[in-house]
């Protein structure tokens, strides 16, 4: 029995609280739109993290390693580029994974009132 057969045709997405067709939602009941948004958000934070990692590495190279400026620091730039790229990609995956794991409710929704905090798992 397919898991989606347990649900009616119209399902409320847990992220934006909009009614969507069952086939548009995944196992966590995120609609496609919310998955795209989450991925974009994870990308932004991932690249920001990659930039932070590269900056930290640059500071370490500058102050710690103190490379000779007589040489064209192509190798260092390549190292920083790799740190940025790999750091960004890995961070993005981790952030997106964390979003999926936490699966916070209604983060894409505009709540009519913010009376009480959502009770987490339910």
Q: Report which secondary-structure segment, H or E, holds 19.
A: strand 19-21
* Cβ closest to Zn ion, residue 94 vs residue 109: 109
Minimum distance between the CB of residue 38 and Zn ion, rounded to whole angstroms? 9
Minimum distance between the CB of residue 24 and Zn ion, rounded to whole angstroms? 9
Say if strands 19-21 and 10-12 run parallel, antiparallel, or are unpaired: antiparallel
Minimum distance between the CB of residue 44 and Zn ion, rounded to whole angstroms? 18
**Residues near Zn ion (CB under 5 A):** 13, 15-16, 31, 34
* 72 within 8 A of 37, measured Cβ to Cβ: no
* Cβ closest to Zn ion, residue 64 vs residue 111: 111
Q: How far apart are CA 53 and CA 63, in angstroms?
A: 15
């Amino acid at each position: 029995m397919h898991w989606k057969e347990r649900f009616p045709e119209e399902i409320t997405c847990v992220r934006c609280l909009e009614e969507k067709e069952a086939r548009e939602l995944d196992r966590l009941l995120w609609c496609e739109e919310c998955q795209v948004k989450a991925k974009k958000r994870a990308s932004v934070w991932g690249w920001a993290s990659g930039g932070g990692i590269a900056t930290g590495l640059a500071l370490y190279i500058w102050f710690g390693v103190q490379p000779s400026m007589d040489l064209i620091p192509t190798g260092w730039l390549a190292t920083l580029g790799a740190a940025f790229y790999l750091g960004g990609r890995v961070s993005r995956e981790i952030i997106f994974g964390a979003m999926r794991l936490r699966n916070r409710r209604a983060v894409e929704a505009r709540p009519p009132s913010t009376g009480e905090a959502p009770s987490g798992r339910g």
